[in-house]
Amino acid sequence: MDTVAGKRKSGGCPRVRVKTALLVFLLLPAVGFCGCTNDDKGLSGIRETRSDDVITASEATSFSSPVEPNSDCPEDEDEFGNETTPEGGDGYGSISGMVRVRAQKVMAVMRDALSGVPEQIRQLPLLLGYFPGLKRTQEEIPESRQFPCPLESGARSPKNPTSVHRLRPGDIRVVGAIGDSISAANGAMASSEDGLGLNFRGVSATGGGQATWRQYLTLPNILKVFNPNLKGFAKKSVRAPMDSVSSLNLAQNGALDEELLGQAKLLVRKIKADHSINFRKDWKLVNVLIGGNDICNEYCFIESDKDSPEGHRRQLELTLDFLKANLPRTFINLIHVPNIVHLRNMKSIPVRCYIRRMIFCSCLFGGADKGKADSVAKMVQGYWEMERKVASLPKYETDEFAVVLQPFFDGLIPPPLVETLFGTSPDLSYFAPDCFHFSQKGNAHMANALWNNMLEPTGNKSTPVEHNLLSTFHCPTKEAPYFFTRKNSLNFLRSGHQ
312 and 441: one domain? yes
151 in a structural domain: no
Query: 333: part of which helix (H) or strand (E)?
Result: strand 330-335
Residue 108: pLDDT band (50, 70, 90) is: low
345 in a structural domain: yes
pLDDT of res. 460: 93
Please give the tally of structural domains in the chain: 2
179 in a structural domain: yes
Q: Running DSSP on this structure, what letter comes out for residue 211? A: S
165 counts as catalytic: no
48 and 168: one domain? no
| Average pLDDT of the chain to the nearest whole number | 79
Residue 191: pLDDT band (50, 70, 90) is: confident
The model's pLDDT over 62-85, given as tens digits with 9 standing for 90+, comes to 333 333 434 444 444 443 344 444
97 and 189: one domain? no
The model's pLDDT over 412-445, given as tens digits with 9 standing for 90+, comes to 888 888 877 676 788 899 999 999 999 999 999 9
The model's pLDDT over 339-380, given as tens digits with 9 standing for 90+, comes to 988 888 887 888 888 888 888 898 888 765 566 778 899 999
CA distances from residue 193 to 25, 29, 189, 415 in whole angstroms, order as listed: 21, 18, 11, 21
62 and 191: one domain? no
Residue closest to 441 by CA, chosen among 34, 98, 170, 61: 61
Inform me whether the pLDDT recorded for 303 exceeds 90.
no
Return the higher-pLDDT residue of 38 and 286: 286
Query: What CA–CA distance (Å, rounded) separates 253 from 251?
Result: 7
137 in a structural domain: no
**Residue-wise over 10-25: b if at least 16 C-beta within 10 A, else e?**
eeeeeeebbebbeebb
Inform me whether the pLDDT recorded for 299 exceeds 50.
yes
Q: Which of 26-30, 397-401, 457-461 has the lowest mean pLDDT?
A: 26-30
CA atoms within 13 A on the CB side of 196: 15
294 counts as catalytic: yes
Q: Which domain holds residue 75?
A: 13-127
Return the higher-pLDDT residue of 30 and 287: 287
Percent share of the chain, pLDDT over 70? 70
For 46, phi and psi rounded to 5 degrees? Answer: -120, 140
Inform me whether the pLDDT recorded for 42 exceeds 70.
no
Inform me whether the pLDDT recorded for 204 exceeds 90.
yes
Return the higher-pLDDT residue of 417 and 472: 472
pLDDT of res. 468: 83
Domain boundary among 67, 102, 127: 127
Arithmetic mean of pLDDT, 100-109: 59
Of 181, 183, 425, 439, the active-site residue reads 181
pLDDT of res. 95: 62
437 counts as catalytic: yes
Arithmetic mean of pLDDT, 384-392: 98
Of 312, 336, 437, 445, the active-site residue reads 437
8 in a structural domain: no
Alpha helix stretches (DSSP H) within 144-214: 181-184
171 and 268: one domain? yes
Arithmetic mean of pLDDT, 228-252: 85
Residue 50 β-bridge partners = 55
291 in a structural domain: yes
pLDDT of res. 2: 46
Number of other CB atoms surrounding residue 226 within 10 Å:
18
Please give the span between the terminal C-alpha atoms of the chain, in angstroms, as a whole number: 85
357 and 450: one domain? yes
pLDDT of res. 127: 65
Inform me whether the pLDDT recorded for 31 exceeds 80.
no
Q: What is the pTM of this model?
A: 0.76
168 and 120: one domain? no
Of 39, 171, 294, 307, the active-site residue reads 294
237 and 324: one domain? yes
